[in-house]
Amino acid sequence: MDDARITELALRARDGHRDAAGEFVAATQQQVWRLLVHLADAAVAEELAQETYERALGSLRRYRGEAPARNWLLSIARRVAADHLRRRARRPVSPAEPAEDDRPVGRAPRPDPAESVAVRDALDALDGDRREAFVLTQVVGLSYEEAAAVCGCPIGTIRSRVARARADLVDALSEPPAAERPPRSG
Amino acid sequence: MTGNHTIPGDDQHGMDCDRCREAMSAALDGESDAAEQARVDAHLDGCAACRAWRRDAETVTRRARTGVAEPGPDLVALVLDAAPGPRARWRGTAARAGLAVVGAVQAVLGLTSLLGASMQHDAMADSIVVLGAGMAHATHESAAWNLALGVAFLAGALWTRHLAGLLPALGAFIAVLAVLSGIDLLAGRVEPARVVSHVVLVVGFVLGIAVVRAAPRSGPAPTPGGRWWARGEGPVAPHGAPAPDAARWERESDVA
């Protein structure tokens, strides 16, 4: 669904059309989910996605349609994730996160193929800014320009962060017999 | 841009490995720079490590894009309660309609006092003159002001965008009028019915606030800050009068 349509849905939702609000959530929730899985982790992504939509829908009355609604929503999701990480950092470290429901504590809510685990581990190991730029552009599927708008930084910053994230992933994911690989220069 | 001399051997192609890889990374995302591409190709001709890196980066990108695409939960039912309810839909419309009615009433009150003043003013001798205005002129002035407020309410109901600008002046007017009306009522200088007619202003003020709050997005407006553009012809010289139907208002905020 294109940005103009999503923005239109947000504006209609703001004017009290619940069906438009539902469509807006349905059209954007996979991207919000993917972003949050990677910026925080899958165990809390659902909770954070819910918080994102509650914040976004609750503040729709102040949304003026000046920025595309998807970018606006993703920047809210980004703030929700940052708030979560800050809260978690402030809490004393506990040996295991208490599970509040019956979902197993861990990265993924459902069994994951090994491939996916390896990629996710490599992504999780990235530096925060690089991971954010990489996830926004590769997993969420934004252009560099849109990612820059969501992060509030120049396009060139996104470009170099994505490249560095890629380089880190190449190092982490390329086949194990490292001795055979040409040494990374540059 | 012509090489990084801290890495000997790489700069003779006009680009070092880091820059080359950043450019290749952007190209993988369809964000490449045509001017840069030639230097990337030149660098790749002489750099086996970067050629290997590109293959690896392509693979890694494909894995990252496809390997993590597990679907998330459906949240629609969970979060919909946070959305503005159907009340938001008619709140703004109702407030605008109410404001239009109040504007019409206020305009009729203004017209009535204007006519009343005109009819009485022949019979009335201007025995009192305050600050250069006789009774008749003071009445005219007040009637004109009341009529103008009615028009302002009507215009605000139509062009909500400019309503917010009216509210401070109106608020000050109501506050001063309330104090003076109280004093005049106590002193017996005004009939209660006349004071009651001021309530229309208060209602208009409250509805005005409701309209402004219900429509945070720019509503319709006659756009004094806009420029007059001829369609497809760019800016028109101030003296060049374009035909009205061939021109449109364009706001700076819309252009940006």
Structure confidence at residue B210 (pLDDT): 83
Query: Contacts by B141-146 with C-beta closer than 8 Å and gap 24+?
Result: B142/B113, B143/B110, B143/B111, B143/B113, B143/B114, B143/B116, B143/B117, B144/B110, B144/B114, B145/B110, B146/B106, B146/B109, B146/B110, B146/B113
Looking at residue B206, its amino acid is V
> Best residue in A41, A138, A171 to probe B by mutation, most B CBs within 10 Å?
A138
Q: How far apart are CA A47 and CA A44, in angstroms?
A: 5
Tokens in use for A60? Answer: 């729709």
Q: How close A95 gets to chain B, by Cα (Å)?
A: 27
* Better-scored residue on pLDDT, B108 or B239: B108
Q: What is the mean pLDDT of residues B56-75?
A: 81
Q: Options 3.40.50.970, 1.10.510.10, 3.40.50.300, 1.10.10.10; which CATH number does A108-176 get?
A: 1.10.10.10
Helices (H), chain B: 17-28, 34-46, 48-67, 76-79, 86-123, 135-158, 163-186, 192-197, 199-214, 252-255
In a domain, B221, yes or no: no
Note whether A28 contacts B: Cβ–Cβ < 8 A.
no
Tokens in use for A150? Answer: 């969501």
The domain containing residue B20 runs over which residues?
11-67
Q: What is the mean pLDDT of residues B83-91?
A: 73
Note whether A43 contacts B: Cβ–Cβ < 8 A.
no
Looking at residue A155, its amino acid is I
* Better-scored residue on pLDDT, B113 or B47: B47
In a domain, B73, yes or no: no
* Better-scored residue on pLDDT, B101 or A112: B101
pLDDT above 90 coverage of chain B, percent: 26
Q: Which of residues 66-105 of A touch B (CB under 8 A)?
A: none
Lowest mean pLDDT among A65-69, A149-153, B63-67, B243-247: B243-247
Say yes or no for a CB contact (<8 Å) between B68 and A169. no
Q: Chain A residue closest to B214 (CA)?
A: A61
Structure confidence at residue B5 (pLDDT): 39
Q: Is the pLDDT of residue B171 over 60?
A: yes
Q: Is the pLDDT of residue B250 over 60?
A: no
Say yes or no for a CB contact (<8 Å) between B80 and A61. no
Lowest mean pLDDT among A39-43, B3-7, B221-225: B3-7
Evaluate whether the domain defined by A1-94 bears CATH number 1.10.1040.10.
no
Q: What is the mean pLDDT of residues B193-203?
A: 88
Structure confidence at residue B68 (pLDDT): 59
Measured CA to CA in angstroms, residue B69 lies from A139, B63, B148, B176 at distances of 8, 10, 62, 65
Contact A168, B21 (CB under 8 A): no
Domains A1-94 and A108-176 share a fold: no
* Better-scored residue on pLDDT, B201 or B9: B201
Cα B72 off chain centre by: 36
Q: What is the mean pLDDT of chain B?
A: 75
Contacts of B39 (CB under 8 A, 6+ apart): B13, B14, B15, B20, B23
In a domain, B235, yes or no: yes
Residues B198 and B124 in one domain: yes
Q: Which of residues 112-141 of A touch B (CB under 8 A)?
A: 112-113, 115-116, 118-120, 123, 134, 137-139
Q: How far apart are CA B163 and CA B130, in angstroms?
A: 33
In chain A, residues with a C-beta closer than 8 Å to the C-beta of B88 are: 14-16, 61
Structure confidence at residue A176 (pLDDT): 58
Residues B109 and B201 in one domain: yes
In a domain, B74, yes or no: no
Closest CA to B14 of B51, B33, B40, B50: B40
Question: How wide is the angle at C-alpha B63 spanned by C-alphas B57 and B69, nearest 5°?
Answer: 140
Q: What is the ipTM of this complex?
A: 0.76
Q: What is the mean pLDDT of residues B171-188?
A: 91
Say yes or no for a CB contact (<8 Å) between B89 and A13. no
User: How many residues can be counted in chain B?
Assistant: 256
B131-165: per-residue pLDDT in tens? 766 777 888 888 888 899 999 999 988 888 778 88
Q: How many CB atoms lie within 10 A of CB B114?
A: 17
Which stretches of chain A drop beneath a pLDDT of 50? 95-111, 177-181, 186
Name the residue ranges covered by the structural domains of chain A. 1-94, 108-176
B114-125: per-residue pLDDT in tens? 887 666 655 555
Residues B166 and B190 in one domain: yes
Q: How many CB atoms lie within 10 A of CB A1?
A: 12
Q: What is the mean pLDDT of residues B34-50?
A: 89
Q: Chain B residue closest to A65 (CA)?
A: B217
In a domain, B140, yes or no: yes
Closest CA to A63 of B87, B210, B217: B217
Residues B204 and B125 in one domain: yes
Residues B199 and B235 in one domain: no
In chain B, residues with a C-beta closer than 8 Å to the C-beta of A144 are: 26, 29, 31
Structure confidence at residue B2 (pLDDT): 43
In chain A, residues with a C-beta closer than 8 Å to the C-beta of B69 are: 34, 139
Q: How far apart are CA A108 and CA B192, in angstroms?
A: 73
Of the candidates A53, A65, A143, which has its C-beta nearest B79's C-beta? A53
Q: Is the pLDDT of residue B4 over 90?
A: no
Q: Count CA atoms within 13 Å of residue B223 on its CB side.
A: 14
Say yes or no for a CB contact (<8 Å) between A13 and B217. no
> Best residue in B29, B90, B255 to probe A by mutation, most A CBs within 10 Å?
B29
In a domain, B5, yes or no: no
Contacts of A60 (CB under 8 A, 6+ apart): A10, A13, A14, A21, B83, B84
Residues B17 and B62 in one domain: yes
Say yes or no for a CB contact (<8 Å) between A16 and B85. yes
Residues B104 and B168 in one domain: yes
Contact B63, A119 (CB under 8 A): yes
pLDDT band at B21 (very low <50, low <70, confident <90, very high): very high
Closest CA to B144 of B98, B106, B99, B88: B106
Q: How far apart are CA A118 and CA A173, in angstroms?
A: 8
Instruction: Give me the phi and psi of B248, to 5 degrees please.
Output: -150, 160
Q: How far apart are CA B135 and CA B124, in angstroms?
A: 9
Q: Chain B residue closest to A46 (CA)?
A: B73
Looking at residue A30, its amino acid is Q
| Helix (H/G/I), strand (E/B), else coil: B74 | coil
